[in-house]
Amino acid sequence: MINILLNKFQTPYNTAPFSKIRNDDFLPAFKKAIENAKIEIDGIVNNSENPTFQNTIEALEFSGEPLDRMSSIFFNLNSAETNDTIQKIAQDISPLLSEFSNDITLNEDLFKRIKAVYNSKDHLNLTTEQQTLLDKKYKSFSRNGANLPNDKKEKLRAIDKELSTLTLKFGENVLAETNKFEMLITDEADLSGLPEGTIEAAKQLAETKDKDGWLFTLDYPSYIPFVTYADNRNLRKKMTIAAGKKGFHNDDLDNQNIVLQIARLRFERANLLGYKTHAHFVLEERMAKTPETVESFLNELLVKAKPAAENEFKHLENFAKDLDGIDQLEKWDGSYYSEKLKQKLFSLDDELLKPYFKLESVISGAFTVANKLFDLHFEEIHNIDTYHEDVLTYKVTDSNGNLVSIFYADFFPRPGKRNGAWMTSFKPQYVKNGDMERPHVSIVCNFTKPTKSKPSLLTFNEVTTLFHEFGHALHGMLANTTYPSLSGTSVFWDFVELPSQVMENWCYEKEALELFATHYQTGELIPMDLVEKIKESASFHQGMQTLRQISFGLLDMSWHGQDPTNITNVKAHEVEAFKNTTLYPEVAENCMSTSFSHIFQGGYSSGYYSYKWAEVLDADAFEYFQEEGIFNKTVADKFKANVLSQGGIEDPMVLYKRFRGQEPKPEALLKRAGLI
């Protein structure tokens, strides 16, 4: 059966044959694919002809295709539909892949060939994309130990192997902690304040587990409404502390030691490669370039945001005191009183908005916006295999009917799926032997499931989340490059959030909302006074929100932008990192680092600042759309031609300036956030 994974899939559009793959197939298939890829590498190394761009760089780029495809399928399953078996296989496979990656980057004979091509690049008459690929391949070797002496190469191998295991274990612990916590409510009075749909979903969840009452979990569609609306302060506290304690229990799911080990190993690895810190290593390949630039960027934002945040917090404290006599605002009060204050200031209640945001309508709205901007057509199809019955599948075509992409969408929480929302890919876009291969792109979210009486109705925050991930998906779908490693979202990490964040802007615009925001029962269009209130409230508590994002960026840099070897207490280190951004009293039982998956499991180590960095780009970019019209085809075509289709073939600032005609101005962000 492992041959299914090793050969071109005999499926519609060459899509992943999920139902035919058994878990037991993965490990032997990975071992065989690694063996085959090694043979391809040997073929490049032992080529008797002189090294050329084609026989070395291109050959390397297209080697190991079945292994890459298999990896994308397996690790996406490990995020979206995992179980004990898959997690065990991941622990076995990750060190093998790490070892194989090192076998390539530490292969001296292969590096000699790459170096020979690199040293003659000025005479090769390469295209811009070919030059970028050559630079990227050379750096992937030189930045990962190719120039090290043998003893240090072995040390690097050991570090990489250990890191691959630790980051996996970190994520498994966070997921296990999320799944472990349940709060069963049996007294109906404790449901006071909660929306009807949340109560119904909790009842339904309890029934599925043969329990009487209402069951609440740390899955976002359960957790967020509870801490936002539940009048029972003690239960909000219980939920908030449970969410903040993930990986911080001093038990077998504890992540404190794992955090310390990951930080130290990353630092040691960077030193081995000649870099001062992990952040210096990472940021060399980002728009920001240095940790100093990142820290300066975050601290400049901090100066602008902190006074606004402190004013907002003071206002919120006074509001809570006047309303309920709360003397000390705590973390479990933040969402609750913010929502109440927002309702008071704008007469805007998420529950008032939700009936206008039926999931199917929002999906259709995202598709319509993409059609008006980029001439894309989405057709739901049912002849494609999926890894879970909830997953929807679409064929995406251009205005001439040509295939652009296959699109998967997976919207609801379940035990085998990690929290949050993300975009991913099952197959990249590229051109090989003159044939255009189109991408298979997926978005994964955790929205409220339909209940017996209601469809899935989204909060406005969930609407913007869907548009955000859909923006990433468009970046993947519209890719038009030759090489897979430069395609789609394979761009500098502080540029990758531009397409996603810019798409969120359409959610606030009357012209866009009119396309999809209709009442799920009456079909009535969202009242325009609500649209105005959505726009008015867009900058509500932006100071506090900005401060929160800055605090996460600073925490990330505190782990990765300095020598962490003397850090022994994760909590104490975190409190110190947060000292200039703290508004609420510290909660002794909680620790963020132990469940900060972005930086200890995902790819955001030394990169969490990217969200704010890309917000500067997105505010500036959307200002251009607003100046010319939010569906202006000229601007949309420029964005598609210079950003969405170009992947990583050129420096992002070059691409951005080609679209915008100028460098981004931070004033657009500060103005939008109401900070100036």
Query: Interhelix angle for 610-628 vs 652-660, to 10°?
Result: 20
Rounded (5°) CA angle 7-12-15: 55
The helix/strand/coil state of 427 is strand
What's the gap between Cα 180 and its chain centre? Answer: 24
- What are the two backbone dihedrals, phi and then psi, of residue 396, each rounded to the nearest 5 degrees? -110, 125
**469, 574, 615, 623: which is the annotated catalytic residue?**
469
Alpha-carbon dihedral sign for residues 217, 218, 221, 226: positive
- Residue 195 tokens, joined: 């929306």
Tokens 């994520």, located at residue: 171
User: In which region does residue 514 sit, left (phi positive, over 0), alpha (psi from -120 to 50) or beta (all else)?
Assistant: alpha
Provide the β-strand partners of residue 216: 183
Give dist(CA 498, CA 643) in Å, integer: 9
φ/ψ of residue 38, rounded to 5? -65, -40
Terminus-to-terminus CA distance in the chain, angstroms? 62
Record the tokens describing residue 651, joined without a space: 């420096």
Q: Are 248 and 588 in contact (CB under 8 A)?
A: no
CA distance 537 to 187: 35
DSSP track, 302-365: HHHHHHHHHHHHHHHHHHHHHHH--SS--HHHHHHHHHHHHHHHH---HHHHGGG-BHHHHHHH
What sections of 81-107 are H helices per DSSP?
Answer: 84-105
Q: Which long-range contacts (CB under 8 A, 24 or more apart) does 23-31 make?
A: 23/85, 23/86, 23/89, 25/1, 26/70, 26/74, 26/89, 26/93, 27/89, 27/92, 27/93, 28/2, 29/2, 29/5, 29/70, 30/67, 30/70, 30/71, 30/74, 30/93, 30/96, 30/97, 31/96
Sheet with 403-410, edge to edge strand ranges: 377-380, 392-397, 403-410, 440-444, 422-427
532 is catalytic: no
Q: Is residue 584 a contact partner of residue 331, using CB atoms and an 8 Å limit?
A: yes
Separation CA 265–CA 564 (nearest Å):
9
Tokens 């009060």 sit on residue: 333
Q: Residues 597, 174: contact at Cβ < 8 Å?
A: yes
Among candidate residues 378, 381, 549, 389, the one with its CA nearest the CA of residue 473:
378
Using only C-alpha atoms, the chain has a radius of gyration, in whole angstroms, of 25
The CA-atom distances, in angstroms, between 435 and each of 37, 396, 397, 438, 578 are 22, 18, 17, 10, 52
| Cα dihedral 579→583→588→594 (10° resolution) | -70
DSSP letter assigned to residue 620: H
CA 391 – CA 118 distance, rounded (Å)? 44
Return the residue matching tokens 């519609």.
Answer: 12
Residue numbers annotated as active site: 469
